[in-house]
Structure 1
């Protein structure tokens, strides 16, 4: 997930990655206290209209771009890494840096969550029986939790390496100008169309081996765009002015369009299933809004952060260094916090803020002082 060389000009990407990881934690707390989406634990009875709208907007807007953006910036460094290391070292390093964390989550973290944190009842089987069934049934293959991203990225990287081997390392030469507004709009349309078609058979909230294919048109296409952007150094060509314009477009008219889309489509009256997939105008409209949000936020964040946030304080660097470890281990931490807060009756939004105020810093503290101190883990975190 990291840049191959932590050069000063890439500090803005480290900062962006940190922001995305923080959003991952916030999203999972959001699901816990809104009940919207899937997560290990939910602490919600019934949402009032204000909570429903706030959680819905936050989760919809964040989901619309943040994981696709991580694939984009991951793709940005792929070609350079491959050319520097060669196919063999590139593949072996990816297997270690992405494959081993995924296996650790599948084989250690997920069983710990389900058996210890969520399964503490008198009638549960002894651990050996539970774990043996978990392995021989191959349930672990669909139990990657948040590490589905590392698993998917590993697959993408291996496919990239195979393509490079087949083409005998032939890559485009010369320069290519940064695509203009028209091509970016077309990109949004393409992502939306493919997403709409996928959701006819794999709607939102469905998955295969913990992979939500309903979002993969965005992930695959932005990963490919990231590779091309790295080849032609497009990120450095996005001006602050351009970035700010795209960012404002996503935040202001983009939010207004979301509100209109929800009101017109009946989301507040329990009709959100129509947005998830199927041959409905709500599904098409949602895919279109989501895809343009992903494109606009990606361009906007890169342009703004490269100009304004291409530096790190000691605290920011410390947090950035721990971002992948937080991503890997935040699930049991925030689930533990959520369980501890179960007896407390609070307004959903207030409880979300309280849990976040506890769980987010705790995740970074445990990462820095425990998880990254474990000898072998330190090598991959």
Structure 2
């Protein structure tokens, strides 16, 4: 609920606050591009023959927090939008900005993106599938991947849940908002509470389903990682609660106690990540059955995963707000195009990985080419698409 006030300095700060949170979203999208650029060159992957252990550490770091953090950021402005628009208009807007891009992604963008994978494993002369055949086979026989677009349908579903709760029981949303708001001057309590909350919504699902299980109803491109269903929903609704009272004066106030302590949250995050690395090392060197680690190991890994996810989410949000006046040229330049870059980047990721596959370049060189090419091409395409008014209102 950031609104322009009559006092110029407060109005400027409100505007800066919006920029800071938008920068946090842009930062996560940049991590998504880095993640997808390097995952093909990790040792646990099945992609390129050139690999580097450093990329395994990057992927493990990102995967352990960044999408949960993105769901929380996505929830921050939901209550304000519902209040301004009403539930029907809010959902119509979300359907336009999330539902339409999701449909375009699964019917057009992802088949185009995944076609090189098909070409890699079906050499010329071994099949008569051209792209039209491949596209039709994808939609009718499968597999029908959604790629990164899975985030869009899950976020849209959560928006519907939030709108329903707000319409039927607005006091529940208000109560959640005030409970979080009350922690604005108690940063340690807020931090520990979020750590505990993360463990509660993640650890039981992790122990029941593991991290390799994906729920994909009916084989349609509506996947979600089973163990993270409650984690993503919980973070999103936490974001809704944070925004339900006041973003300007609440727990994410730019000069608030939580934001001031962002270096502390970062240090704790790195300690938790170190614990994750120790458990991964133990898994590779001490667990007898690599594919079926004991319950004690799975419980310990799930615990530190949840703690790291919570601590890094605090770090990203608090750091973005505390450093809102700092000049970070790439993030500032990317901000208007960030959503569009997220939508189209996977096409360039896979095609560029396909293009450099046969070269014996070091993994770092291949990843750098893929990342630089993907960022520039998806950015350029987004800028051109945003010149179309209807598209600009969407992305």
Change (3 A) 1:285 1:364: same
CA spacing shift, 1:110–1:235, aligned 2, 3 Å:
same
Q: Among 315, 340, 344, which residue is 2:355 paired with? A: 340
From the superposition, tell whether residues 61 and 313 of structure 1 become closer, same or farther in structure 2 (CA, over 3 Å). Answer: closer
Matching residue of 2:206: 199
- What is the deviation of 1:249? 1.4
Aligned residue in 1 for 2:11: none
Is 1:291 matched with 2:311? Answer: no
8 Å CA contact 1:326–1:363 kept in 2: the answer is yes
Counterpart for residue 8 of structure 2 = none
In the alignment, the residues of structure 2 paired with residue 322 and residue 105 of structure 1 have an alpha-carbon distance, to the nearest angstrom, of 17
Distance 2:89 2:311 in 1: 35
The question of 1:33 aligning with 2:46 is answered: no
Shift of 1:67: 0.8
Q: TM-score, normalised by structure 2?
A: 0.81
Partner of 2:162: 160
Q: 2:152 aligned to 140, 150, 153, which one?
A: 150
Q: Distance in 1 between matches of 2:150 and 2:206?
A: 19
User: Alpha-carbon deviation of 1:295?
Assistant: 1.4
**2:105 matches 1:87:** no
Find out whether 1:366 has 2:381 as its counterpart.
yes
8 Å contact from structure 2 (residues 116, 350) kept in 1: no
Q: Indicate whether 1:125 and 2:129 are aligned.
A: yes
How far is the alpha carbon of 1:170 from its aligned partner? 6.8
CA RMSD of aligned residues (A): 3.0
CA distance in 2, matches of 1:205, 1:340: 29
After TM superposition, list the pairs within 5 Å mapping 1:209-358 onto structure 2.
209=216, 210-232=223-245, 233-236=250-253, 237-251=256-270, 253-266=271-284, 273-274=291-292, 280-310=295-325, 316-358=331-373
Query: Is the contact made by 1:14 and 1:320 (CA closer than 8 Å) also made in structure 2?
Result: yes
What is the deviation of 1:85?
A: 0.4
CA contact (8 A) 1:188 1:295 kept: yes
Q: Per the alignment, in what secondary structure is the counterpart of residue 215 of structure 2?
A: coil
Unaligned ranges ≥5, structure 2: 5-13, 217-222
Aligned equivalent of 2:63 = 63
TM-score, scaled relative to structure 1? 0.84
Q: Is residue 265–residue 311 contact of structure 2 (8 Å, CA) maintained in 1?
A: yes
Moved more, 208-217 or 177-186: 177-186
Q: Answer yes or no: is the 8 Å Cα contact 2:251–2:258 preserved in 1.
A: no
Report the Cα offset of residue 246 of structure 1: 0.6
Cα distance change of structure 1 residues 375 and 293 upon mapping to structure 2, 3 Å threshold: same
1:236-294 Cα shifts (integer Å, max 9, x gaps) = 1344431111112112x22332232223333688966457xxx6222212211111111
Using the TM superposition, name which of 158-167 and 196-205 deviates more: 196-205
CA distance in 1, matches of 2:313, 2:257: 11
Whether the 8 Å CA contact 1:238–1:299 is kept in 2: the answer is no
**Cα distance, 1:160 vs structure 2:** 0.9
Give secondary structure in 2 for the equivalent of 1:289. Answer: helix
Distance 1:212 1:244 in 2: 31
Distance 1:221 1:170 in 2: 15
Change (3 A) 1:115 1:301: closer
1:375 deviates by: 5.1
Count of aligned residue pairs for this structure pair: 364
